Structure 1
Amino acid sequence: MSSIAFSAVLESAREAGTSRFSATNIADALDMQYQDLATLAGVHRNTLRTHPESPKLQAALRDLMRVLSAAAVVQPDTQRAFFMLKNEPIPAFRHKTLLQLVQEGRAEDAIDYLESISAGFSG
Structure 2
Amino acid sequence: MSAALSTVLEMAREPGTSRFSASGVAKLLDLQQQDLADLARVHRNTLRTHPESPKLQTALRDLMRVISAATVIQPDPQRAVFLVKNEPIPAFRHRTLLQLVQDGRTEDAIGYLESVSAGFVG
Once residues 117 and 21 of structure 1 are traced to their aligned partners in structure 2, the CA distance between those partners, rounded to angstroms, is 27
Once residues 107 and 29 of structure 1 are traced to their aligned partners in structure 2, the CA distance between those partners, rounded to angstroms, is 18
Once residues 88 and 116 of structure 1 are traced to their aligned partners in structure 2, the CA distance between those partners, rounded to angstroms, is 16
Q: CA deviation at 1:46?
A: 0.8
Once residues 89 and 6 of structure 2 are traced to their aligned partners in structure 1, the CA distance between those partners, rounded to angstroms, is 26
Unmatched runs of 5 consecutive residues or more in structure 2: none
Once residues 16 and 77 of structure 1 are traced to their aligned partners in structure 2, the CA distance between those partners, rounded to angstroms, is 24
For residues 48-67 of structure 1, the C-alpha deviation after alignment (integer angstroms, 9 at most, x for no partner) is: 01100000000000000000
- Kindly report the root-mean-square deviation, in angstroms, between the aligned alpha carbons of the 2 structures: 0.8
Once residues 107 and 55 of structure 2 are traced to their aligned partners in structure 1, the CA distance between those partners, rounded to angstroms, is 17
Map 1:7-86 to 2 at 5 A: 7-86=6-85
Unmatched runs of 5 consecutive residues or more in structure 1: none
Q: Tell me the TM-score normalised to structure 2 length.
A: 0.96
Q: Which has the higher helix share?
A: 2
Once residues 8 and 117 of structure 1 are traced to their aligned partners in structure 2, the CA distance between those partners, rounded to angstroms, is 23
Q: What amino acid maps onto 1:38 in structure 2?
A: A
Q: What amino acid maps onto 1:65 in structure 2?
A: M
Q: How many residues align?
A: 120
Q: What amino acid maps onto 1:88 in structure 2?
A: E
Q: Tell me the TM-score normalised to structure 1 length.
A: 0.95
Give the secondary-structure state (helix, strand or coil) at the position aligned to 1:5. helix
Identical residues among aligned pairs (%)? 77
Structure 1 residue runs of 4+, over 4 Å off? Answer: none
Q: CA deviation at 1:11?
A: 1.2
Q: CA deviation at 1:78?
A: 1.0
Give the secondary-structure state (helix, strand or coil) at the position aligned to 2:104. coil
Quick one: higher RCO (CA 8 Å, sep 6+), 1 or 2? Answer: 1
Residue 93 (str. 1) matches residue 92 (str. 2) = yes
